[in-house]
């Protein structure tokens, strides 16, 4: 099993541009009331750095790892979603929703269907249904259905991420733990967006949404690389 120290030592330097981009985003804190391509670039820059993070591991790595390719594709759709959400007040919120829905499908596929862990699926399905029931009275028009589909897809992604972490049986790797934590942060971020947009204003919602969102994407990207390290470790063993 790959140790946390090894992960930090091997992957930490490659993530420095990502952390610098996040610092830039929060330092500039450009107003959302005046959307522009500059504000879109600043918002997307951390995710673009995660593209570079995965690409830095080489073409051979990406060609050999379908999970890494799917996560990279998910990051591409996430950037498209971020751009649409910058102009969400101009009617592009549903476009952003669609882009992130595709990203969740890609992440779910990357995490795979083994182990199945149906108990985790039941728990996540219950929590997803509960979230939708809470949101439902606040939804209107096509969002009544669009949000329902989105909740189902992010729930699927969460299930596949959680399913791999079986601490009791010691059947886990840092890959799976990273994916699980990333999925959890993503759900918190998206649920905060939904409550703030459709139900009531959430204090410091933007900081909560973006902080958990960037953490989620970093952990999901890291999980793709951890897969490489863990498999190499098992082969050496």
- The β-bridge partners of 166 are 171
pTM to 2 decimals?
A: 0.92
For residues 78 and 103, the answer to whether their CB atoms sit within 8 Å is yes
Cα 68 from chain centre: 14
Cα 8 from chain centre: 20
114-128 pLDDT, tens digit per residue, is: 889 999 999 999 999
149-205 pLDDT, tens digit per residue, is: 999 999 999 999 999 886 555 445 777 889 999 999 999 999 999 999 999 999 999
Residue 16 phi/psi, 5-degree rounding, is -60, -45
For residues 128 and 190, the answer to whether their CB atoms sit within 8 Å is no
């Amino acid at each position: 099993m790959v140790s946390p120290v090894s992960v930090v030592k091997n992957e930490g330097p490659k993530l420095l541009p990502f952390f610098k981009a996040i610092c830039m985003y929060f330092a500039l804190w450009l107003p959302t009331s005046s959307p522009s391509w500059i504000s879109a670039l600043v918002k997307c820059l951390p995710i673009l750095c995660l593209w570079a993070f995965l690409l830095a591991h080489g073409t051979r790595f990406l060609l050999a790892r379908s999970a890494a390719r799917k996560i990279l594709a998910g990051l591409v759709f996430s950037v498209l979603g971020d751009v649409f959400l910058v102009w969400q007040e101009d009617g592009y919120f549903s476009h952003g929703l669609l882009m992130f829905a595709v990203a969740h499908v890609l992440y779910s596929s990357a995490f795979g269907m083994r182990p199945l862990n149906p108990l985790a699926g039941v728990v996540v399905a219950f929590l997803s249904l509960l979230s939708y029931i809470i949101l439902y009275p606040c939804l209107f028009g096509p969002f009544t259905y669009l949000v329902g589909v989105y909740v189902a897809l992010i729930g699927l992604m969460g299930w596949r991420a959680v399913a791999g972490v079986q601490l009791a049986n010691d059947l886990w790797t840092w890959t799976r733990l990273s994916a699980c934590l990333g999925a959890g942060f993503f759900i918190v971020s998206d649920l905060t967006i939904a409550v703030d947009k459709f139900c009531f204003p959430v204090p410091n919602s933007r900081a909560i949404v973006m902080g958990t969102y960037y953490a989620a994407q970093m952990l999901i990207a890291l999980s793709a690389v951890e897969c490489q390290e863990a498999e190499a470790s098992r082969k050496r063993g």
